Amino acid sequence: MSEAPELESAIDAVVRRIFPGSEGVAAFRRLSGGASQETWAFERVEAGGARTPLILRRAPGGTRQAETAVGMEIEAQLMRLAGEAGAPEPVVHYVLAPADGAGRGFITSFVEGETLGRRIVREPRFARAREVLAAQCGRAMAAIHAIDPARLPPLRVATARGRLEELHARYKATGRPKPVFSLAFEALRARLPAEPVTPRLVHADFRNGNIIVGEEGLRAVLDWEIAHLGDPVEDLGWICISSWRFGGEGPVGGFGTREQLVEAYEAAGGGRVEPERLLFWELLGVVSWGVSCASMVVGFRGGIDPSSERAMIARRSSETEIDILDLLSPRS
Amino acid sequence: MQDEPRPSEMLAAVATLLRATVMPQLSGHTAFLVRVAANALDLVRRQVELEPAADAAEQARLRRLLTRDGDLLELNQALCDAIEAGEMTLETPGLTEHLWATTLEKLAIDQPSYAPYQRAVGS
């Protein structure tokens, strides 16, 4: 029994067409997780019976897409470019076309491994991975940032000042005064990097939870949906924020140190990372997650998603307030 | 005067029902959603128990800090305005202590298991 017979039969037809010798798909199922994107796993059945696992990533409901998302087609293109540049990425086999009748999305190879942040920072089998993961993330970021912007599809440009102003407007729109956020905005304004940078491809959601990890370390970087052009150090700051540490040791994703991340990044040609710029982006990342949580109240009350899950994410806003205080005014 | 048990006791009982009886019969996404619902009941229970004292303490601190009166929303708005106007900074006597106290009171309700909160109250 299929969970989604129409989607499965559309994908079955695509697979028979793009992989000659295929006899369709099997074990078609939706994987959990991913509110902004659907992930489906299935197997391609070859003549003779061999089976190859594959992944379909699709816009929710086939076509819904957040305003800030780059779109499934561009996401697939970025994944390919990053893979060519040396970042570990799944192989993009096919981008869905309207005529396929399966919505917007793309089919990739299946990368075996763990994506749950809590397991990556805790389980003994990832102990070796945790020793090298921060450096591997640094090298993957350097590869992504080195991509010639001329080869990129059209992307939104997000400067430090632009991000800060947009974030402040979103905070004001929540209508709820939060003195700790006000303090953070003042600190960000005071630390706004003086030197504008040449905009590079920024993944913008490169963190524990969006990577696939094996026992030897990093296997894939996923979730390109909010990628943009901007300051590369944004990626290094984002992977450090406390909300993505899952209770683990070490500021980078709960598995590594800032030094491991930055040293590997610089050694791989990523350019010098000034500590002040890194702190700016880490703080902006914390505030960004905090404002995103607080903004969930609107959708919860307005009926877009009145679920208890959304309500609980809204109440995670306060975790970023303790993170802001830890960064700006740590208790000794 | 309302009869007993108290709201917090009844919320705890329903959360226990969800975790001990309902969840073991579920799997996948539905089990996840029920766990979230049980966590939500725990949050509400903590708020019922802790909010009155936390609000009173926060309001008293804000009145001292701002030397004016008002409800919590007005006072917090006034503090935000003062911070964003540069009139109050981390050097302002009492501000850091107030923000830490308020934040810890919020985390005690929202997410007492959050590691940075555990570190802050454990030391």
**A3 CB within 8 Å of a chain B CB:** no
With CA atoms as reference, report the closest residue to A115 among A254, A214, A2, A261.
A214
Give the span between the Cα atoms of A205 and A66, in whole angstroms.
Answer: 15
By Cβ distance, the residue of B39, B76, B107 closest to A322 is B107
**A22 CB within 8 Å of a chain B CB:** no
C-alpha separations of A314 from A19, A130, A270, A294, A309 in Å: 44, 30, 35, 5, 9
The answer to whether A267 and A229 have CB atoms below 8 angstroms apart is: no
**A104 CB within 8 Å of a chain B CB:** no
**Average of per-residue pLDDT values in chain A:** 94
Looking at residue A303, its pLDDT comes to 82
Which of A113-122, A168-177, B25-34 shows the lowest mean pLDDT across its residues?
B25-34
In this predicted structure, the answer to whether residue A1 has a pLDDT above a threshold of 60 is: no
In this predicted structure, the answer to whether residue A313 has a pLDDT above a threshold of 90 is: yes
Give me A150's structure tokens: 């001329």
Taking the alpha carbons at both ends of chain A, their separation in whole angstroms is 59
Give the span between the Cα atoms of A205 and B107, in whole angstroms.
Answer: 25
Give the span between the Cα atoms of A236 and A58, in whole angstroms.
Answer: 27
**Residue numbers of A between 160 and 179 with CB closer than 8 Å to B:** 177-179
What average pLDDT score do residues A97-103 get? 95
In this predicted structure, the answer to whether residue B73 has a pLDDT above a threshold of 80 is: yes
**Pick among B103, B104, B113, B114 to test the A interface (most A CBs inside 10 A):** B103
Per-residue pLDDT tens over the stretch A207-257: 999 999 999 999 999 999 999 999 999 999 999 999 999 999 999 999 999
Please give the ipTM for the structure prediction: 0.96
By Cβ distance, the residue of B33, B106, B110 closest to A309 is B33
By Cβ distance, the residue of B39, B76, B77 closest to A312 is B39
Peptide bond just before A5 cis, omega within 30 deg = no
Looking at residue A3, its pLDDT comes to 75
With CA atoms as reference, report the closest residue to A55 among A71, A63, A44, A65.
A44
In this predicted structure, the answer to whether residue A33 has a pLDDT above a threshold of 60 is: no
| Pairs of CB atoms within 8 A across A/B | 89
Query: Could A322 and B116 be called an inter-chain contact, meaning their C-beta atoms sit closer than 8 Å?
Result: yes
Looking at residue A66, its pLDDT comes to 73
Query: Could B111 and A182 be called an inter-chain contact, meaning their C-beta atoms sit closer than 8 Å?
Result: no
Give the span between the Cα atoms of B98 and B101, in whole angstroms.
Answer: 5
Give me A279's structure tokens: 């702190």
